[in-house]
Amino acid sequence: MRALFFDGAKAEVVDRPEPDLKAGWALVRVHLAGVCNTDLELCRGYMGFQGILGHELVGEVLAGPAEWLGKRVVCEINFACGACEMCTRGLGRHCPKRTVMGILNADGAMAERILVPVANLHEVAAGVSDEAAVFAEPLAAACEILEQVHVTAATRCTVLGDGKLGLLVAQVLHQAGARVLAVGKHEDKLGILKARGMETVLFRDWDRTPRDLVVEATGTAEGLATAIGATLPRGTLVLKSTVADESKLHLAPIVINEISVVGSRCGSFPPALRAIETASIDTRSLVSERVPLARAHEALSLAAKPGVRKVIIVVRES
């Protein structure tokens, strides 16, 4: 099969062996795969990954348990052992033995077919387009914040970063009732949020007034220091960026201002799928380009350009 393979130095579309079906797993024919900033960071050395890239997908089950055959699905990315303490607590996303699709010791979704644990499958409703469904994973990551932080109508929130994840996070917090200020560098991206009733400001014009809740989604090593300065004493700072570069920080402000720092990664798919089904979150405006699998290496370059939104790799039209 054809796949976008990263060998530790470069990513290119090559022939790769067909996945071997095993008990408890399903073979999924990929329709669409999304390019995430994490994919770009992996190609810069993050996690030391080598393999097929990609962890955002929608596809169709080709082989596996009879009840799943032919169903259109999205897939959670953490492949857990199912037996350890974390797994028995319902925290398979933190299983110490886990592999992670396209990120840690497991091939990813930028391929014609992928092998996924049946437990990770979620069926996509008939009325949902593939282009919307492919956002399930990043939207689940955005929704995870609501599982970690109590948000009310009185919560004043700053979202730093107008990339794909930042735009999703801002919408999720706005839907939850928070008073959101989105800070970014691109007027057209911020316009998506402004049209949905959110306050926005370009980074160069931002007065950096501290707020109760700050979400760092800049995708840069420098973003954390900026976010610390934007968080009120006794406020909460949520970290969403995963970058290859190391951050050099002066940690005293966190102690002095008693800031709660929350790392936030993957989330549960059901809330994201409900938001997609009801169209309460705008994903359509986040898509910039659709690129065929044969040119998937170009999709990475395109996604790295400033101002580009979501780039989708078309593996198979549904």
How far apart, in Å, do the first and last CA atoms of the chain sit? 18
CATH of the domain at 228: 3.40.50.720
Whether residue 160 sits in one domain with residue 203: yes
* Residue 292 structure tokens: 């065929």
CATH of the domain at 297: 3.90.180.10
Residue with tokens 């593939």: 130
In this structure, the strands spanning 179-184 and 121-123 are: unpaired
Mean pLDDT per 10-residue segment, the chain (318 residues): 96 96 97 95 93 98 98 97 94 95 97 98 97 97 96 96 96 97 96 96 96 94 91 96 76 94 94 96 95 96 93 90
**Position 270 in a domain:** no
Number of domains in the chain: 2
Q: Where do the DSSP E strands lie in 84-228?
A: 99-100, 113-117, 121-123, 156-160, 179-184, 199-202, 211-216
Can you give the pLDDT at residue 244?
66
Can you give the pLDDT at residue 251?
87
Domain carrying residue 176:
139-263
Whether residue 238 sits in one domain with residue 116: no
Residue 268 CB contacts under 8 Å (≥ 6 apart), including other chains: 140, 143, 144, 147
Whether residue 27 sits in one domain with residue 130: yes
**Position 273 in a domain:** no
Whether residue 143 sits in one domain with residue 124: no
Can you give the pLDDT at residue 248?
75
Whether residue 8 sits in one domain with residue 89: yes
**Position 272 in a domain:** no
CA 73 to mean position of chain CA atoms:
17
**Position 165 in a domain:** yes
Q: What is the pTM of this model?
A: 0.94
